[in-house]
Amino acid sequence: MTKISLDNSMPEQPRILNKKALRDSARQKRFLLTDEEIRQKSSKICSQVLELLDGHRTVMIYCSKNPEVDTLPLISALLQKGIRVVVPIIEQETTSLRLSYLTNCDLLVRSTFSVPEPIGNEIPARPEDIELVIVPMLAFDTTGNRLGYGAGYYDRFLSSHPAIRKIGLAFLCQETPEVPVEGNDIRMDYIVTEEGIIPCTCRDEDST
């Protein structure tokens, strides 16, 4: 029995170590970008995301912090188009996301982990009303595997609501040949970088 237990646990440690090294590498690459590069690349990314959102009525989107892909111009563009915007609010106690509609970017304040959130101006939103969610990534591969910050907030939310379409945003420098995958990791339907839109569904089938 002891031997079986040890064999089952051993594969987990390399994956954990690989993810930590990958996060460190992705952070380093992203921090090498200048503010102007982030602005220009983010603008290209947001323009392409708008193409994917045509026809959607309610979209959940992360509120960016530097040096992530800047989503605030995208949020403003969605609001101008009449698309309802839902943003996540981090609940550290339950390691979950609370949802709120956002009607104006001016209502955002720096909150948990320095993430902008509409604290004090919340309008509760229901997950079942969300058609598509836009999430941040530290690293990604072209089959749609995403590496987040490690706490699993988005993976838990998305696993509870599998019908919601998923778009990951990142700079091209954050691409890696393969992201280590565990059972609770959620794959993206699309990944958007400054160089284009990567459809991730059926990528495995195409490569076989």
Q: Dump pLDDT digits (tens) for 83-135.
A: 999 999 999 999 999 999 999 999 999 999 999 999 999 999 999 999 999 99
The pLDDT tens digits along the chain (208 residues) read 333 333 344 344 445 558 889 999 999 999 999 999 999 999 999 999 998 998 899 999 999 999 999 999 999 999 999 999 999 999 999 999 999 999 999 999 999 999 999 999 999 999 999 999 999 999 999 999 999 988 889 999 999 999 999 999 999 999 999 998 888 889 999 999 999 999 996 544 444 4
User: What per-residue confidence (pLDDT) applies to 4?
Assistant: 32
Burial call 66-95: b when 16+ CB within 10 Å, e when fewer: ebbbbbeebbeebeeeebbbbbbbbeeeee
Alpha helices in 81-186 (DSSP H): 153-160
Burial call 171-180: b when 16+ CB within 10 Å, e when fewer: bebbbbeebb
Contact indicator for 49, 192 with CB cutoff of 8 Å: yes
Identify which of 187, 185, 186 has the alpha carbon closest to the alpha carbon of residue 198: 187
Q: What is the pTM of this model?
A: 0.86
Q: Which CATH number fits domain 34-207: 3.40.47.10, 3.30.750.200, 3.40.50.300, 3.40.50.10420?
A: 3.40.50.10420
In angstroms, rounded to a whole number, what is the distance separating the alpha carbons of residues 180 and 15?
6
Residue 3 DSSP one-character state: H
User: What per-residue confidence (pLDDT) applies to 9?
Assistant: 41
Residue 135 phi/psi, 5-degree rounding, is -120, 155
In angstroms, rounded to a whole number, what is the distance separating the alpha carbons of residues 18 and 84?
38
Structure tokens at 148: 């987040």
Q: Strand 139-140 and strand 146-147: pairing?
A: antiparallel
Structure tokens at 197: 């839109």
Alpha helices in 85-186 (DSSP H): 153-160
In angstroms, rounded to a whole number, what is the distance separating the alpha carbons of residues 87 and 190?
19
Q: In the chain, what are the domain boundaries?
A: 34-207
In angstroms, rounded to a whole number, what is the distance separating the alpha carbons of residues 102 and 121?
8
Residue 184 phi/psi, 5-degree rounding, is -95, 0
Question: Is it true that the peptide bond before 67 is cis, omega within 30 degrees of 0?
Answer: yes
